[in-house]
Amino acid sequence: MLSNRTRKHLKSNWKGVSKNAKNRTLQRLRISVPSTFDDIVLISQKLSEKERRNIFNPETLTPVVQALLGYFAVEKNSRRKDVFFNSSGKDLMYYELAKLFYEVSSRRLEELVTDTIEPSAYGITFENISLVREMLLNWQIKNLKTE
């Protein structure tokens, strides 16, 4: 999706790029990224299960999901863990995306658990889902009070 030049500018945090050139590039990204997402949806719907597994798997999607939720890789020489949360905790975009991921994945997880896991394990899984729901609700209430 990105040209080598755009990738270089992004990685350098736009160092040496004029404001005008940066704005033109960002405008192109605002147009092209949604189209790329449409392509990803089409691929995920039309490829065979085997091909989807080769493309969409925890190894390939973890960095994408982490970046969308505000986790960013740290330099390899750093003494920190592999990723860290890069937000004050009040960034609404990260909250909204996390909530979206949760809502979609919890419904799907409940369906999959019901179909594939022994009934004795339901309690643990649904208990974890309920805890995450409660955490999201508490976060939302806390941040609404501070606004």
Examine residue 82 and state whether it is found in any structural domain, yes or no. no
CB 98 within 8 A of CB 69: yes
Question: How many separate domains does the chain show?
Answer: 1
Examine residue 34 and state whether it is found in any structural domain, yes or no. yes
Examine residue 143 and state whether it is found in any structural domain, yes or no. no
Examine residue 109 and state whether it is found in any structural domain, yes or no. no
Examine residue 29 and state whether it is found in any structural domain, yes or no. yes
Examine residue 67 and state whether it is found in any structural domain, yes or no. no
Examine residue 145 and state whether it is found in any structural domain, yes or no. no
- Given 3-state DSSP classes, what are the helix, strand and coil percentages for the chain, each rounded to the nearest 5? 75, 5, 25
Query: Out of 73-77, 103-107, 112-116, 122-126, which region has the weakest mean confidence (pLDDT)?
Result: 73-77
The yes-or-no verdict on residue 74 having pLDDT over 80 is no
Domain of 46, in residue numbers: 1-56
Q: What percent of the chain has pLDDT over 90?
A: 33
The yes-or-no verdict on residue 135 having pLDDT over 70 is no
Residue 77 is predicted with a pLDDT of 47
Examine residue 75 and state whether it is found in any structural domain, yes or no. no
Residue 27 neighbours by CB under 8 Å, 6+ apart: none
The yes-or-no verdict on residue 49 having pLDDT over 70 is yes
